[in-house]
């Protein structure tokens, strides 16, 4: 075991223990089941906050590392670690889980125990993905996440839930196959599944015991990982599973799907595609940026003409996450920080939009915009929260959506002003479809008699919405708290992907800081038996 605490293991497996406790309860004691699920998820969130002081500001690399041998042959290890990028993605996951529990307090009435078990197990898989530093362990948690999410859609979803769940499984597993092939190839070439060790080998010249990939081999490996992550983002044109999954999923499923599951794709690009395959990343950057910009504009245009409110929010995710991919492949520290910030901001603002849409559905049992109109009169509080969240999603200054998009566009402009110019259209279009949909739902005359007596937000819903609003505002005005902790990790990724600064660890005095750090990491890996080079 490397020096460090067991906090990361607690973060991964504490929800699993909570799920096991729920399984031991009687299935008809719904109130007690909900309370236990809420307590477990809140405790998990508090545990995640303990990680913040353990990740020093300005210090790159992994912290709180945990390492233990798991399988001797092949050498599969239990290796965990956290840096400035994965830190806030873990906190986002643990924050949205109790929000999802509260959002499901009244709307889930059948198989209540099983629902909250699946929600907690989903948290296990997602947190495990963000903390894994072993490729096999990463793939294991990647697949573990798939099962509870598919069941949440397929069992507790709406009319076409089975179709949406099967489509979600097929798309994700198709991408997973490519990633698994890439993982196996890397193992056969390096003799290890350890991510830091593989990264060192790929950036060390062959004359010094490293592994040099040919241009075509590097591109194929890059594509093997990239396709899996692009499906999860989802990046145009691999996005068609997302609207169906969102529309058919229960509210909690949509919140977790938009809030954290989509971030697994962009996180994978940052953690795997860029550091492991820098040459291929640069060669593919133009094509990836083109797809991201198409996704930004296409997602916004399709959202604008959607008659279904939940599908409109789903397509907005395609547009907003295009900014994240663009920021990643601009290869600039500012755009990389913007991409990470946009991941977090999107998780909060779009998660809040799905919560609000779910609250409307609980009252009217429809997502059709034409069924609404004039709701600001009977529901002024809900209308106010909806406007606040919509403004944050479209990037109003002082709210969270502005910071991420601005940093992405700023960093991208310094590298490729044409990319930033086209992507900026997405900001304008997002204002169009969000404000127009808000006008149709909440303003105008009430055309449906049943809308006149709809109840406003309940006390539970107000607590949920106030919490989301406070976080939205805090992220908009207190961005330094996050960016100061992601800057070093973002620069670490840029250092690894820039061809002007290769890993030349042979001459310690002339090596780059990143080369020195990774050479030290490799030495530790070899001394601990983690590196089994063939």
- Residue 116: what pLDDT? 92
Taking Cα atoms as reference points, which of 95, 131, 116 lies closest to residue 25? 116
Alpha-carbon distance of 32 to 457, in angstroms, equals 24
Confirm whether 362 is domain-assigned.
Answer: yes
Model confidence at 87: pLDDT above 70 = yes
Alpha-carbon distance of 393 to 433, in angstroms, equals 11
Average pLDDT on 392-413 reads: 89
Query: How crowded is residue 391: how many other Cβ atoms within 10 Å of its Cβ?
Result: 21
Model confidence at 1: pLDDT above 70 = no
- Residue 498: what pLDDT? 74
- Residue 20: what pLDDT? 92
Average pLDDT on 120-127 reads: 92
Average pLDDT on 166-187 reads: 90
Model confidence at 499: pLDDT above 80 = no
As given in the structure block, the two tokens for residue 351 are: 């998660």
Classify residue 98 as exposed, middle or buried by CB count within 10 Å of its CB (0-12, 13-18, 19+): buried
Model confidence at 511: pLDDT above 70 = no
- pLDDT tens for 463-477 read 999 999 999 999 989
Q: Residue for token digits 């894994």? A: 132
Mean pLDDT of the residues in the chain: 85
Average pLDDT on 231-237 reads: 87
**What is the band of 415 on the pLDDT scale with cuts at 50, 70, 90?**
confident
Residue scoring higher pLDDT (91 or 204): 91
Model confidence at 505: pLDDT above 80 = no
Confirm whether 114 is domain-assigned.
Answer: no
Q: Residue for token digits 């794709």? A: 265
Confirm whether 334 is domain-assigned.
Answer: yes
Confirm whether 376 is domain-assigned.
Answer: yes
Confirm whether 387 is domain-assigned.
Answer: yes
Alpha-carbon distance of 461 to 146, in angstroms, equals 29
As given in the structure block, the two tokens for residue 93 are: 């996951």
Confirm whether 340 is domain-assigned.
Answer: yes
- Residue 41: what pLDDT? 92
C-alpha dist (Å) from residue 465 to 384, 387, 427, 516 = 10, 12, 24, 47
Dihedral class, residue 111 (left if φ above 0, else alpha if ψ from -120 to 50, else beta): left
CA 459-462-463 angle, to 5 degrees, is 90
Model confidence at 522: pLDDT above 80 = no
As given in the structure block, the two tokens for residue 294 are: 């198409």
- pLDDT tens for 308-349 read 888 899 898 888 899 999 999 988 888 889 999 999 999 999
Confirm whether 208 is domain-assigned.
Answer: no
Model confidence at 239: pLDDT above 60 = yes
Taking Cα atoms as reference points, which of 168, 174, 162, 156 lies closest to residue 118? 156
Confirm whether 46 is domain-assigned.
Answer: no
Query: For the chain, what is the domain count?
Result: 1
- pLDDT tens for 303-318 read 998 888 888 998 988 8
The parent domain of residue 332 ranges over 301-490
- Residue 84: what pLDDT? 87
Model confidence at 39: pLDDT above 90 = yes
Model confidence at 138: pLDDT above 90 = yes
């Amino acid at each position: 075991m490397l020096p460090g605490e067991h906090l990361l293991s607690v973060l991964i497996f504490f929800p699993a223990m909570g799920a096991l406790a729920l399984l031991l309860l009687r299935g008809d004691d719904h109130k007690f089941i909900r309370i236990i699920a809420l307590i477990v998820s809140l405790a998990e969130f508090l545990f995640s906050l303990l990680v913040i002081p353990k990740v020093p500001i300005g210090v790159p690399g992994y912290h709180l590392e945990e390492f233990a041998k798991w399988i001797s042959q092949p050498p599969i290890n239990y290796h965990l670690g956290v840096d400035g990028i994965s830190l806030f993605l873990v906190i986002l996951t643990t924050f949205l889980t109790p929000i999802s529990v509260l959002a499901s307090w009244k709307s889930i009435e059948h198989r209540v125990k099983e629902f909250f078990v699946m929600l907690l197990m989903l948290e296990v898989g997602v947190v495990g993905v963000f903390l894994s530093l072993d490729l096999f362990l990463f793939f294991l948690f990647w697949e573990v996440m798939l099962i509870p999410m598919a069941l949440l859609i397929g069992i507790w979803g709406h009319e076409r839930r089975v179709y949406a769940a099967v489509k979600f499984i097929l798309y994700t597993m198709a991408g997973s196959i490519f990633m698994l092939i890439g993982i196996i190839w890397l193992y056969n070439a390096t003799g290890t599944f350890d991510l830091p060790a593989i990264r060192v080998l790929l950036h060390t010249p062959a004359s010094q015991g490293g592994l040099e990939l040919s241009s075509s081999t590097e591109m194929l490996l890059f594509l093997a990982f990239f396709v899996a992550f692009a499906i999860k983002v989802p990046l145009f044109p691999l996005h068609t599973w997302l609207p169906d999954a969102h529309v058919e999923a229960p509210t909690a499923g949509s919140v977790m799907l938009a809030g954290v599951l989509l971030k697994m794709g962009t996180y994978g690009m940052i953690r795997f595609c860029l550091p492991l395959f820098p040459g291929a990343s640069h060669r593919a950057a133009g094509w990836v940026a083109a797809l991201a910009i198409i996704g930004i504009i296409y997602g916004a245009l399709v959202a604008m003409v959607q008659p279904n409110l939940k599908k409109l929010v789903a397509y907005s995710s395609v547009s907003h996450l295009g900014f994240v991919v663009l920021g990643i492949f601009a290869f600039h520290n500012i755009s990389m920080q913007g991409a990470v910030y946009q991941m977090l901001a999107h998780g909060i603002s779009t998660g809040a939009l799905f919560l609000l849409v779910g609250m409307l559905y609980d009252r009217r049992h429809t997502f059709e915009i034409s069924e609404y109109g004039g709701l600001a009169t009977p529901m002024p509080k809900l209308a106010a929260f909806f406007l606040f969240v919509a403004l944050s999603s479209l990037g109003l200054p002082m709210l969270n959506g502005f910071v991420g998009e601005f940093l992405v566009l700023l960093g991208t402009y310094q590298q490729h002003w044409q990319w930033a110019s086209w992507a900026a259209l997405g900001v304008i279009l997002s204002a169009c479809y969000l404000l127009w949909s808000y006008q149709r739902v909440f303003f105008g005359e009430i055309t449906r008699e049943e809308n006149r007596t709809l109840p406003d937000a309940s006390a539970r819903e107000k607590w949920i919405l106030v919490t989301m609003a406070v976080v939205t505002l805090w992220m908009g005005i207190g961005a330094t708290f996050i960016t100061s902790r992601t800057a070093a990790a973002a620069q670490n990724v840029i250092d690894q992907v820039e061809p002007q600064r290769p890993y030349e660890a042979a001459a310690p005095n002339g090596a780059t800081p990143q080369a020195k750090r990774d050479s030290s990491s490799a030495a530790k890996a070899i001394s601990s038996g983690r590196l089994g080079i063939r």
